[in-house]
Structure 1
Amino acid sequence: MLNCSRRLLLSAGLIAASSLSFAAADDSANEPLQFKKNKLATDRVIAEYYPLVNNNEWDAFFSLFHQDAHFEAPFNSLLDGIENIAPFYYNVAETFPDHTDTPVEVISLGNQAAVRLAFSGTTAWGVPVTFEAVDWFKINKGKIAAEGIFFDIAKMPNEILCPAIASPPAPGTVNTPLLLSNKTGKTGWSIDQQKIVSANDVKALAKNLKTIDAYYKRVNNDQLESFYTLFADDVVFHGPGGFSSHSKTAMQPFFSQALSGFPHHRDTPQQVMVSGQTIAVLLQFTGTDTSGNAIAFNAVDWFQLDNGVITSLRIFFDLAHFPQSLAAGRCQAESA
């Protein structure tokens, strides 16, 4: 099925025409049976992960991980090994005695899964907290080999936020290597073959991938006028720092302001997950700000498209990478 669909895509000029340089996200993606086995193992892990973490069943939960798993946690933290990962979850449970991760949308393909979820909880001192996040998983031999958690830390109450960003990276520091990236340097891609059942599906997929390709080309080259043509007039947009809008016009200040702060900037897709009209992109941002400081971080762009037009975009990354961000400004104002 996978190879058959690839031939359909190639015949449509999809992969050859895309400058995203798609490569197989799963090492065995050329083997349909192995791909299906990997997906079954991935689905099992995801199905067990959320009930266990929601109920603090830690022994069973940590058995889902490889002992040497890689973990990209919020607040610009990189952790290796289950002995270093476990304290993160213990701290979450202590800080939020009442906490629930509710998956909203799951893309599970081969040995990877991207899960958009809604977190709701109450801190130990009684403050309710809600936000959206993305968990991105790599599964190896039925266990989690790498996980990245991406959300807007500006949603955190000051008691959590301010201590966490009190020691930002030194100027000029390029932080956060991409633990989840494809070592080939090419963009890993994975497409849900079950959503491609007709010629119309192939055409829609071709349009959607062409749009995503254009999105990164144009934003990387500051071609904002043509960049905005990729969006529906009533596009729903959610960005870091609590920015939210429901029209193309209202969305534009976010990108104008974000790009003006980085004379040199580049979004480099690392993994692309496609399921129907949903495309999730794990990327690395690299850039230099107006003071000449280099910065690098990982992010997830979560797209909904309709016939090649972006109808919804959610951007997830950690504002801890920006000491002068809205989040930091909030803490500075409180301490003044």
Structure 2
Amino acid sequence: MKERSVPMPTSLKAVTHAQNIRYDKAAEALYIIDQSLLPNEERELRLQSVEEMVEAIQALRVRGAPAIGICAAYCLYVLARSISTPDPAAFQSQLKAYAAQLNASRPTAVNLSWALREMEHTAAAHLGDPRPALLEALYQKAVDIHEDDIAKCRAISEYGLSLLQEGGGVLTHCNAGPLATSRYGTAQGPFLLAAERGMHIRVFADETRPLLQGARLTSYELHRAGVDVTLICDNMASMVMKNGWVQACFVGCDRVAANGDTANKIGTSGVSILAKHYGIPVYVLGPTSTIDLNCPSGDHIPIELRDPEEIKALWYEKPMALPGVKCYNPSFDVTDHALIAGIVTEKGICRPPYTESLAALFR
């Protein structure tokens, strides 16, 4: 499925990557970068209780489907350490209860439930072991999930870079870089890899209303890495495309259905419809853990609805609408598979028909 390789130069440019999730084994402490404070403040937040963990996910202090999965794995390990009962059955029951609380924090991203299942399966397999051995197995599984995502992001970035040309322009929506995943990221990974290799790519980043992940996070990461990035309002994407400034759109995903429909940050569907009109290919980049073959189409993907105040008042000293005005605030939308030119995974680039190419990844 690989389409074009980008040669490795003899020298690489150092690119700074954000470490969004950090587990200090010596101190047995889990830290995340509080993304709600970026780009103006970089502050680590320690997560200790299940209430703190759920709040961090719901408040988008940690966000991005792969990052949520990685964080949840470490969270469940931290919570496992807090369970004092010596009875294996009671331990397993409490661990399942914690996993259910974490899983309910955000319903759309499939990586969250996937990572929690991996941790629960590990616990079940080692339930008869002494408690220190059981906890060590859970820790190693969380580390494996984290390291596996780093490797997958690198591979996704390589395949994504093969779709870009020197000096080309690309539009991205929301944030799918190191903060949302690990190391390189998914949809932003090719841009960071290009910067490392001295390849010039012009990136146009939508601000991504209403939470401004593109403005606060994507432009922050790309600018810090030395990538040529231009921030635009969401409603400027059509003009940028019409002007011929972009030759591709790269977006991430929170869930991919079996038919290739993809859920991503609200506004992605609109970008894809515009790109179709202007003849610009849209590529969805994400790890295979984001693919849900049990979900037949986008109609079956649950869409999270968020607080209306995010639209009316979050970024302003005074509300921008009257208190009585109703708001509709979905966090995600679904892009129809017919609008997608390719789905880029760590195993290669899937092309239509997606019912066949996606299923082939798991054979």
TM surpasses 0.5: no
The alignment's TM-score, normalised by the length of structure 1, stands at 0.26
Greater helix fraction, Structure 1 or Structure 2: 2
The alignment's TM-score, normalised by the length of structure 2, stands at 0.24
Greater strand fraction, Structure 1 or Structure 2: 1
